[in-house]
Amino acid sequence: MKVTHPLVSIVDDDESVRESLPDLLKELGFSADAFSSAEEFLASDSLGRTRCLILDVAMPGMTGPELHIELMRRGEKIPTIFITALKDDAVRPRLIEQGAVECLFKPFTDDALQEALNSALQPD
């Protein structure tokens, strides 16, 4: 019997994040897909299978918050964890208010990510 792991999609324009985060997610028991832009994620077949989304806040083109709003507009209710290198104390409360599960500041710990994923994937 094939064991399926929940798919976590990562959208980040930083190549080092797209290379390292999927490995960590696999160690934590998830499947992972990584995308360099919001547009690339929206055009992918991962959209319908994604159980949790890890979004960078600041990206060229469509930003993480803009993607989050677009997904909600489309009726896609994907739990979202934002990650950001921006040290702006106003960012986290605003994103949580808009429906994000968590907003982690880079660099974040494996434990902080695991905790955010556990929250994101809690059954309602």
Tell me which DSSP letter residue 55 carries.
Answer: E
Task: Render pLDDT for 94-114 as a digit per residue (tens, 0 to 9).
Answer: 999 999 999 999 999 999 999
Helix (H, G, I), strand (E, B) or coil at 32: strand
Site of tokens 């993480």 = 64
Domains of the chain listed by start with CATH number: 7-120 (3.40.50.2300)
Structure tokens that stand for 101 in this block = 């599960």
> Residue 4: what pLDDT?
75
Mention every residue, 6+ apart, whose C-beta is less than 8 A from residue 1: none
pLDDT of 121 reads 92
Q: What is the C-alpha separation between 90 and 98, in angstroms, rounded?
A: 13
Low-confidence ranges of the chain (pLDDT < 50): none
User: d(Cα 104, Cα 76) in Å, to the nearest integer?
Assistant: 22
Structure tokens at 52: 């949790």
Dihedral of CA 66/122/85/55: which sign?
negative
pLDDT score for 122: 85
Quick one: DSSP state of residue 5? P
